[in-house]
Structures are given as C-alpha cells and as structure tokens.
Structure 1
Amino acid sequence: MVDKVVSLEDAVAVIKDGDTVCVSGFVGIGTPEALVRGLADRYRDQAEPRDLSLLFAAAPGDGKDAGLNRLAQDGLVKRAIGGHWSLVPRLGKMAVENRIAAYNLPLGCISQLYREIAGGKPGMFSKVGLNTFVDPRHIGGAINELSTEKLVELKDLDGEEWLFYRSIPIDVAFIRGTTADKYGNITMEREALTLDMLSIAQAAKNSGGLVIAQVERLAAEGSMNPREVVVAGNFVDCVVVADPSEHMQTYDTTYNHAFTGRLKGVVDELPPMPFSDRKIIARRAAMELPINGVVNLGIGMPEGVGAVANEEEILDHITLTTEAGVLGGVPQSGLDFGAAINANSVTQTNQMFDFYDGGGLDLACLGMAEVDAKGNVNVSRFKDRFAGAGGFINISQNARKLIFVGTFTARGLRIECPDGTMQITQEGTMQKFIPEVEQVTFNGEYAAQQGQEVLYITERCVLRLTEAGLELAEVAPGIDIERDILAHMAFRPIINSPKIMDPALFADKPMKLRNSLINVKMEDRLTYDETTNTVFINLAGTSINTKADLDEHYTVMHRFFGDLGKKVNIISNFDGRVIAPKLRGLYADFQAELETQYFLKAARYTTSAFLRQKMGQDLKARKLQPHIFETAKEAAAYIRDQDQA
C-alpha cells in the first residue's frame, strides 16, 4: 500500500482550475485550517487554481480572517454554496457584491446531501425550505444575480409539495481528523465533533474526486483500533500533518478533554447570567422548557435559556442538543459553539438532522431579527449584510414547539425593573416588528397551517402565532400596550385580553422555576374548563416510583373529581411520565376506576411511542378504549369531535 503522508504544498498542488472543493467544519471544529491556508497561499503566490466552487455546510470560519475567509480572493473562487455564512464574512461580502455566484441552502440539507452524492443519487427530496427563500417560488436560495443555476426544484409527489435538492459532484474534499496512519486511516478521538467527515469523503471518492485529510499526528502501521477509525484509508488520497497552531480543537480552545468525553467537566459552578433584558427573555423562554424533553437552543440570545435552566436547577431534566451532532450535556457558545461539555452522545451532523427533520425536537428556541404581521421571521439577509440560514430552517420547520426570542426593539434599548415591573428608560432606535421581512427564513402562515405552536418572546411582551396572524398573549407589568408596544410596531397584532407576565421574571433573584415546572403539587396539575366540561391533567415529568406515590395520586384524583360532582371529559399530558414497572398493573387498575366513575370521554397524549403502546395495552386489558395520541392538539380534537358527533 502507498504511503499517503505528503507535504501541505504537494497536497494542495493537485487542485485544478474549476474544481468543486468541499470543506468540512462547524465554526472552528473540524475545520482543516492548514489545508485552507495552503490553498490560499498557493493562489496568492502562483495565481492558481482559479474559478473554484466551494461547498460547505456550517461556515468554517471565525468571523474574521480564518477558515474560508482566507479564500476570499478575486479569481480564486467563482461560486460558493453554503448553509451558514455569518462566520465567513469576507466570502459573504464577495457574494452580496456580485463578485461570485453564491447560494444559501439549509445547513441540514447540505449535510444530508453529502450522503446522496456518495450514493450516486441525483439529489434529495425534503420538505425543509418550503415557503421560505429557499423555495424556487421565492429565490431558490440564490444570493445574487450571478446565481442563475437551479439547485432546488419544486416537485409534486402524490399531491404533496416537496423540494428536490440537486446533487453537486465533488472534485476535492478537505476533511480533518486527529490521527492517521500512513495508509490514510483516520480517527477523531481529540475532535469535539465527528461532523460529516465520512459522508464528505465518500461523496468525493464516488464523484471521482480526491480526499485530502488534515491530522495532528501519525500512528504506527497496524496500531489503530478499527472501531475508532471514522474514515477508512480507502477513501483518503493523501494526509497532511498540521502544525498545532492550525489544529486547535475550536477557534477558542486549544484542547478540552470534556469536549471529547475523556473526562467530565464541572458545570454546577457556572456563574449566573447577569440580570438584564436578555435574562428576562431567557427566563420567560425557560418557562416553556419541556421536562424530560429534547431541546435545541440556537446561537446568541437563545444560549441564555440554558444558563437560566442551569441556575434554576432544571438543566438535568432537559436534554439539550446542537445540530452539529451533540445530544445531552451543556452546549458551548461563541467560537466553541457546536461543542458540549458532558454530552451523552456525539453523532454525525446528517444523523442529527434526520432526527430533527423527523420531528424529534420537543422544543426549539431560536433568535429573531425581523418579524412581520404574518409571523414570518428573517434571520438570514439584511441589505448588505448576509448571515445565511444555517440549521435554522430545518429546526424551525420541524420542532413540535417553537420559541423565537429577542428584544422588542434594537440599538440603544435600556430598561429598569423596579418592584417586579418594567420601565423602558430608553427605547431602541430600530424596530423589529416591521411591515414585511426582507427575507422569509421562517414562514408563519405555513407553520400555522401545519398546526405548529409558536411563541415570540421579548422583554416586554409575548406574542402567539395564530392562523389569523400574531396575537398579543402577554404583557409585562408596568408596560402600556399603546405607548410601549403598538407605538413601536409597524402593524397591529390581534389583542384579546392579554395576560400579565409573571412578576418573578423582573426581579433580580432566582425564580424558583423548579417549583413551577417539576415540584408541582398534584392538586395544582388539574384544571377544569366549565365551558367545555373538560379537565386538563398535566402529568408531564412526574413519576410513580413507590406505592406511596400511587396512594397520593389516588387520594388527590378522587377528591378533585368527587368535588366536581359530575362526569367530565379529560385530556391528560403524559409527556415524560414515569411509572415503575412493578406498579404498572396497579396504576392501570386505578386509571380504569377513574374512567368508569368520573369520565365521559378520555384522551391522553405523549410523545413517547413506548408509553403509548404500554398504556394502550393496559387499558385494552381492562376493556377500555385507549385513546392515546402523540400531541395535545390531536387529543383535544378527539374530545371536540366526539362532543360534536
């Protein structure tokens, strides 16, 4: 077998004019900095290669000069196709100035497309991007007038609309790992993420292209554990050993064992978030966190939700994820974004997006820059500033519940919070709630039609998406609706007796959120709606681990329903409900007893398919119909339809 270890100069010398070069990396994680720098140096010194096409998913760059920013040289790049652009501003500047053809496609779709290219397929079908700027009925992801090639097509399959993302053959792939042997086998034991290294390598090889890998060290022949090899040498053409300065774990961190799972990091000593408008917003968003649910927090302001959850001691009841492939642990911010301390697992990026796109997220919390009356959100394009969508479209379109967070106005906003109220001492000069967003990164009308639950949380109010548009749902104490809200919006939202936001949000002390989300008394989990004769039972995140737990549940339920004095409909939330196996039979007997004695119609819901199956079997065994649904909307629709029948 051929020794594949070569110099940087020899590696980049194989790239030809017009090649399509795919570059791995998520911010600075997995970014082959030495290879990119070597390509930039070759062009500067030799004026070749020219007219390259770049393909990347997650903005390999630091927001300044590193990563793909090095390739922002006239003549070197002719076209760029990327998912996230904000950290490659020099390249983005060339795009908005019409100096290169450029496209912005959803990060997750590019990540998944690598697999389709590897499989020799013509492209990929997805609903992600429908009715956004990626949809060809809008601009098809094109950034400027030079971008005339159709990379995305609208297709009809059995009466349903789909987007078809065309495959893009790869001539050269730049990937990165930790260790290589002379045959090109690559491991990633010191990398914070595995990303899409294998898919990219296979896509390039099966396109007839070349794979160049950057590593930090070499191993002796035959010494590598085959189970740790992420990219086999069959897929690698040459290996470059980088200087440590060009192989940092992230752009901010030389190396952290906790990012790799080699040790557990300390997270309970993290300092609390300073009290500010940002913390108020993060607190209100944290009130929506699903106990025992799976959550994605976007970069920027949404990161504060994780900090609040940690401060309020509920973080251990939430599974946080990042689109880069991390599930569990504490996701990091800034130039460490994508990494996590104490993750439960680290998977490939395309696999994480499979999970997201299939509806695996219970909640997503994302930022918002512009919002209009239809609930459309723009985070991707602002005149001459181009950020790109990143994973925003995949996440926002597919999360079961979606929260957008941001200050109500921007640039100069100042607030004070005396005695649990809010006062605007200086209003921001830039409105965020405008007549029409510049670019539709999230389509409000489409989300409402799909029945998605969406909130827009600011420091002074909360708005809710409805099929008729945005509704003002909550207002901070001390805020005047006309003066402080409507006067700074370009449209009038629906107003139907909005609630007052919890005063605890506006005090500079812990909210004791654990008490309201986890340590809730059973009697406080039951709510009766007289207009529909329905009792809502919130059992989310609760457990029956002992006979004493079951006895308490029994006593509270009998007292509550007995006091009502009539039979009622019930809708029960079983999300995150845990019942000890040894008590399942007794609990099912109790459910049957309640249903026979007190219920007219019963509907239960949980996202857990296992719990739906088990509970359904237990109820059937007791000759009860198991009306158990996946969502609250389905459960409520069943009760409503039965009442109307």
Structure 2
Amino acid sequence: MRRKVVSAADAAALVKDGDTITTSGFVGIGVPDELLAAIEARFLARGTPRDLSLVFAAGQGDGKDRGLNRLGHDGLLKQVVGGHWGLIPKVAALAVEGKIKGWNLPQGCISQLYRDAAAGKPGMLSKVGLETFVDPRNGGGAINDISTEPQVELMEFGGEEVLYYPAPKMTVALLRGTTADEAGNVTMEREALVIDNLAQAMAVKNAGGVVIVQVERLARSRSLQPREVQIPGILVDAVVVASPQNHMQTYKTAFSHAFTNRIRPPDGEIPAMELGPRKIIARRCAFELPVNGVINLGIGMPEGVAAVAAEEGLLNHVTLTAEPGVVGGQPASGLDFGAAVDVDAVIPQNSQFDFYDGGGLDMACLGLAQADADGNVNVSRFGPRLAGAGGFINISQNAKSLVFAGTFTAKGLHVQLDEGRMNIRQEGSSRKFLDHVEQVTFSGRRAARLGQPVLYVTERCVFQLSAEGLVLKEVAPGVDIERDILGQMSFRPIIGEIEPMDARLFADGPMDLRRELLHLDLPERIALDSAENRLFINFEKMRIRTTEEVEQVRDQVERVCGPFGERVDVIVNYDGFHLDDDVSNDYAEMVADLENRFYGTVTRYSGSAFLRLKLGETLQGASHIYETRDAAQSFLDGRG
C-alpha cells in the first residue's frame, strides 16, 4: 500500500483552480490550519489555487488571521456557502462587498448535507429556515446581489411547506485528526470534538475528490485500535503532519486532557458571577430551566446561565448540550466554545442537529441582538457586519421552549443596584427593540402560530411572545416603564398584567432556586377537591433522590388527606418524573401506605412509555397508568 504521508506544500498542490473545498472545525476547534496556511502560501507565491468554492458549517476562525481567514484574499475564493461567519471577517468582507458570491445557510442543515452528499442523495427536505431570511421568499440566504443561484427552494410536501436544500458537490476535503497510520486511518483521541469529519470525507471520496487530513503524529500501519478510528484509510488520499502552532486543540488552549474527556478533572468550583446586568439576566433565565431537561445554551450572554445553575446547585438536574456534538458536562466559552468537560458523550455534529431538529431540546437560551414588535429576532446581519446564523435557526425553531437573553440596550449601558432597586445611570446608545429587525433569524409570527413558548429576558424587564406580538410581563424594581422601557423602544409593546421581577435577582447570595425548581415546596403540588373527593398530585418534572424527599411526600399527603376523613380518588401526573433507583423501594412502600390509609381509586399518567413501565414495576398492582391526563380522568369519571 502506498505511503500517504506528504508535506503541507505537496498537499496544497493537490488543490486545483476551481475546486470546491470543505473544511473541518467548529469555531476554534479542530481547524486544519497547517493545510489552510499552505494553500494561502501557495496562492500568494504562485497565484494558484484560485477561484475556489468553499462550503463550511461553523466558520473556523479567531476573528483575525487564523482558520478560514487565511483564504480571505482577492481571487482565491469565488463563492462561499457557510453557517457561522462571525469569526472569519476576512472572508465575510469579501462577501459583503460583493467580491465573491456568498450564502448564509443554517449550520445544522449544512452539517446534515455532508451526510446526504456522502450517500449520493440530491439534497434534503427540512422546515428549518421557513419564514426566516433563509426562506427563498426572504432572500434565500444570499449575502449580496451577485449571489443569484438558488441554494434553497420552497416546496410543498404532504400538504406542508418545506425547504429543499440541494447537496453540495465537493471535490476537496481539508480535515484534521490526531494520529494517522501509514494506511491513512485517522484517530481523534486528542481532539475536543469529532464534528463532521467522517461525513465530509465520505462525501468527497464518493464524488471522486481528494481527502487530505492533518494530524499531529504517525503510527505503524494497522497499529491503531479499530474502534478509535474516526476516518478510515480507504477515504484518505494524503496525510500531513502539522507543526504544533498549527495544531492547537482550540484557538485558546494548546491542549487540555479535560477537553478530550478521557480523564475527569478534579472537582472545582465555578466562580460566582459578579452581580450586574449579565448575572441578573442569567438568573432570570435560570428560572425557566426544566428539571431533568435537555438544554442548549448559546454563546455570549446565555453562557452565564451555566454559572448560575452551578451556584444554585442545579447542574446535576439538567443536561447541557452544545451543537457540535457535546452531550452533558460543563461547556467552555470564548475561543474554547464547543468544548466541554465532564461530558456524557461526544457525537457527530450532524447527529446532534438531527436530535435538535426532531424536538430533542426541552429548552434553549440564545442571545438577543435585535427584536421587533412581532417577536422576530436578528442575530445574523447588522449592516456591513455579517455574523451569520450558525446553529441559531435550527435550535430556535425546534426547542420546546425558548428564552432570548440580552441587555435592553447596547454600547455604553451602565446600571447600578441600590438596595435591590435598579438605577440606570447611563443608557446604551444602541437600541435593540426596533420597528423592524434588519434580518429575520427567528420568526416570532411562526413561533406564535405554532404555540412555542418564548420569553425575551433583559436586565430591566421580561417580554412574552403572544399571537399579537410582544407583551410586557415583568419589570425590575426601580425601573420607570415610560422612561426606561417604552422610551427606549421603537415600538409600543402590549402592556399586560405587569408583575415585578423577583427581588432575589437583584440581591447578592444564592436564590435557593434549587428548592423551587425541584418542587420541594410540595404544598403547591398536592391539591384536594373536597367536593369531588379527588386528590390531584402533580409530580411533573420532579426528581426524588433521597429517603428524606420520599418522607416529605408522605407527610404532605397526610396533612391534606388526614383531616378530610374520607377516602379520595387520586390522579397523579408523572410527566418528566424521575425516581432514583436507590429509593425506589422506599417510594413504593410510601405509596402502598398512603393507598391503605387514604386512597380509593388511583390513576396515574405519563407521556413516557418507559416511565409507565417502570412505575408498573415499582408500584405493584398499579394497573391504571395512562398516557394522558384525559385518559386518566376518563377512567375515574367512568367509574363514577
């Protein structure tokens, strides 16, 4: 078998004028900088390769010179299709100025198209992007006027509108791994992510193209563990051993064992955030965390939610995820964004977006740059500044609930807290709540029509999305509605029944949010309808982990049912309920005791088939476990 190891210069010579290249990486992670630097050097020295087309999902760059910024030269690129552009300003400038053709498509869709291209499929159908700037009725993702070839088409399938994304035809893949053997098999044991490397390699190889992988070290042929191989050698044409400066684990961190998740770092405390606008916003967002739920936190302001969750002892009760494939753990930030420590799994990016698009997220908390009266949000384009949508459209359209987080104004905002009251000492010079956003990255009208719960959280107030538009729901103590809210908006929101924002948001020290979100305040979860002789128990999203918590349930039912003096029929909501195995026997004994003393007929319901099975095993004789409340209610009504 021929030796595949070549120099970076020889690898760059494999890229020909007019090729369509695709690159690995997510922000500052997994970027093939050795290969990109060699292509840049060859172009500057010889004027070739030129007129390249580029396809990428998450724009690999540091906001300056590294990553795809190395390709930002006149003549090197001809057209670009990408998801997130914010960290590749040199390429973005070429597109904004009309020097190249450019399109901004959802990051998740591009990631999934790699896989479809590998399978020889013509493209894919998706609802992601409907009624946003990606929709052909709103520009089709084109960045400038010369970008006229359609990259997405509006279709009707099964009576519903969908978008058709044609699969790209790519001829060169520039990828990255850790170790390659002489046959070109590549492992990624020192990488923070696996991203889309396999799908990209397959797509290019099956199209008759060239796959080039940079690594940091070599091994003998067939000496690698097969289960460690992420890119099989049959897909690889050339391997380049990178210099250390062009093979950092992230653009911030040269290497961290913790980011490989092959070791667990010692437990350490996440430092508490300083009390100010960012923490106030993060705290209010944390009130919306679904216990036992799966969550995505966006970059920027939403990152503070993880710090608040840690401070409040909630990290063990939620699963944080990141779009490049991280499940669980603690996400990193800045140019480490996308990496995480203490994770449960790292999966391919396209699989993560499959999960997201299918509704797997219980909640997403994303940034808020601009919003308008209809609830539309823009995070992707601001005049000549092209940030790109990234995974924002995939995530925001498909999460079960959504929270946007951002300061009320930008550029110069200064806020002071005086004994729990907010004093806006200096207003930001840039408004965020506008008559019309510059670009629709999130469609408020579509979300309202589909019934998606959406909040817009700022340091001074909270809005809620309704069918009629934004409704002002909460205001911080000390804030004057006319001066500090309405006077700083370009439209007038609907004024609802306004409540004060929780006083705990503006005070130092923990908020005791864990007790509130875990529903340990059981009196609010157990209610008796004495007229109907019915007890309603709502254990939705509750987790019972200790015998103490089991006894708290017993005590509360005794307090409610004991004085009533008669047996009651019971309906129990177990949606999202979690019972730790260590206390399942104690819980079953407690339930049996209450049934013997207080209960008549008991019905239970849960939307989870697994939980219904587990409850049936735990609660012996619990035959009436239904899928919905209506079914449980109908059973009792029928018996009555």
TM-score class, shorter-chain normalisation, is over 0.9
- Compare 488-497 and 358-367 and name the one that shifted more: 488-497
**Deviations 1:299-327 (CA, angstroms, capped at 9, x unpaired):** 01111111111122221222111001111
Alignment match, 1:185: 185
Matched residue of 1:230: which SS?
A: strand
Could you give the per-residue CA deviations for residues 469-516 of structure 1, whole angstroms, max 9, x where no partner exists?
Answer: 111111111112222111111222222221111111111322232232
Distance 1:87 1:595, change over 3 A: farther
- In the alignment, structure 1 residue 577 sits paired with structure 2 residue 575: no
- Change in Cα spacing, 1:356 to 1:534, as seen in structure 2 (3 Å) is farther
Shift of 1:423: 1.4
Is the 2:526–2:535 contact (alpha carbons within 8 Å) kept by the matching residues of 1?
no
Q: Tell me, what secondary structure is at the counterpart of 1:137? A: helix
SS of the aligned residue for 2:273 comes to: coil
- Per-residue CA deviations over 1:415-453 (Å, capped at 9, x if unaligned) read 111111211111111111111111110011111121111
Shift of 1:612: 4.2
What is the rounded CA distance, in whole Å, between the counterparts of 1:479 and 1:564 in structure 2? Answer: 47
Distance in structure 2 (CA, Å) of the matches to 1:128 and 1:29: 25
CA apart distance, 1:542: 2.3
In structure 1, give the amino acid aligned to 2:315: L
- Is structure 2 residue 326 aligned with structure 1 residue 326? yes
Say yes or no: does 1:315 pair with 2:315.
yes
- Separation in 1, partners of 2:256, 2:10: 32
- List aligned pairs for 1:544-583, cutoff 5 A: 546=547, 549-560=549-560, 572=573, 574-578=575-579, 580=581, 581-582=584-585
Query: Do 1:330 and 1:342's aligned partners in 2 also have CA atoms closer than 8 Å?
Result: yes
Change (3 A) 1:524 1:12: same
Matched, 1:270 2:270: yes
Does residue 348 (structure 1) correspond to residue 348 (structure 2)? The answer is: yes
1:537 partnered with 2:521: no
Residue aligned with 2:138, SS: coil
Give, in whole Å, the separation in 2 of the partners of 1:369 and 1:529.
47
1:513: which partner in 2? 513
Displacement of 1:584: 6.9
- Shift of the alpha carbon at 1:595? 11
C-alpha spacing 1:526/1:498, structure 2 compared with 1 (3 Å): farther
**Which amino acid is 1:115 matched to?**
R
- Deviation at residue 53 of structure 1 after TM alignment: 0.3
1:4–1:184 Cα contact (<8 Å) kept: yes
Identical counterparts, % of pairs: 53
d(CA) in 1 for partners of 2:315, 2:418: 29
Question: Which residue number corresponds to residue 254 of structure 1?
Answer: 254
My pick for the range that moved more, 518-527 or 303-312, is 518-527
Match of 1:201 in 2: 201
Distance 1:431 1:583, change over 3 A: same
Cα distance, 1:590 vs structure 2: 7.5
Q: Is the 8 A contact 2:371 2:378 kept in 1?
A: yes
Deviation sequence 1:548-596 (CA, Å, 0-9, x none): 7545423413533677899899683632421644467657768978997
Deviations 1:124-181 (A, max 9, x none): 1111111111111111111111111111111211101111110111100000000101
Q: Distance in 2 between matches of 1:500 and 1:53?
A: 53
Q: Supply the distance in 1 between the matched residues of 2:126 and 2:143 (Cα, whole angstroms).
A: 21
Cα distance in 1, alignment partners of residues 312 and 297 from structure 2: 17
Q: Determine the structure 2 residue equivalent to 1:39.
A: 39
Structure 1 distance, partners of 2:572, 2:481, is 34
The unaligned stretches of length 5 or more in structure 2 are none
CA positional deviation for 1:34: 0.6
Superposition pairs for residues 124-135 of structure 1, below 5 Å?
A: 124-135=124-135
Aligned to 1:99: 99
If the length of structure 2 is used for normalisation, what is the TM-score?
0.92
Q: Deviations over 1:609-643 (max 9, x none)?
A: 421454479999656461437xxxx999x99xx9x
Which residue in the other structure is 1:426 paired with?
Answer: 426
SS in 2 for 1:213: strand
Q: CA deviation at 1:21?
A: 0.4
Measured in 2, the distance between the counterparts of 1:148 and 1:126 equals 21
Q: What is the rounded CA distance, in whole Å, between the counterparts of 2:478 and 2:597 in structure 1?
A: 44
Tell me whether 586-595 or 92-101 shows the greater mean CA deviation.
Answer: 586-595
Written as runs of structure 1 = structure 2, the 5 A alignment for 1:153-172 is 153-172=153-172
Closer, same or farther: CA 603–140 of 1 in aligned 2, 3 Å: farther
CA distance in 2, matches of 1:435, 1:414: 24
1-structure distance, mates of 2:395, 2:186: 31
Inter-partner Cα distance in structure 2 for 1:496 and 1:562: 41
- 1:472 to 2:469 alignment: no
C-alpha distance in 2 between matches for 1:96 and 1:416: 39
Letter in 2 for 1:408: F
Letter in 1 for 2:70: R
Q: 1:348-392 deviations in whole A, cap 9, x for unaligned?
A: 111111111111111111001000111110000011100000000
The amino acid of 2:579's aligned partner reads V
Question: Taking structure 1 as reference, are residues 470 and 597 closer, same or farther at Cα in structure 2, changes over 3 Å only?
Answer: farther
Pairs within 5 Å for 1:17-56: 17-56=17-56
CA distance in 1, matches of 2:487, 2:528: 37
**Contact 1:361 1:400 (8 Å CA) reproduced:** yes
Kindly tell me: are residues 331 and 595 of structure 1, through their superposed partners in 2, closer, same or farther at Cα, counting changes over 3 Å?
Answer: farther
Q: Per the alignment, in what secondary structure is the counterpart of residue 455 of structure 1?
A: strand
Q: 1:61 to 1:273 in 2, by over 3 A?
A: same
Partner of 1:149: 149
Query: Per-residue CA shift, 1:42-88, capped at 9, x if unaligned?
Result: 11110111110000001111111111111011111000000100010
Question: Structure 2: which amino acid aligns with 1:9?
Answer: A
**How many matched pairs?**
631
Question: 2:295 is matched by which residue type in structure 1?
Answer: V
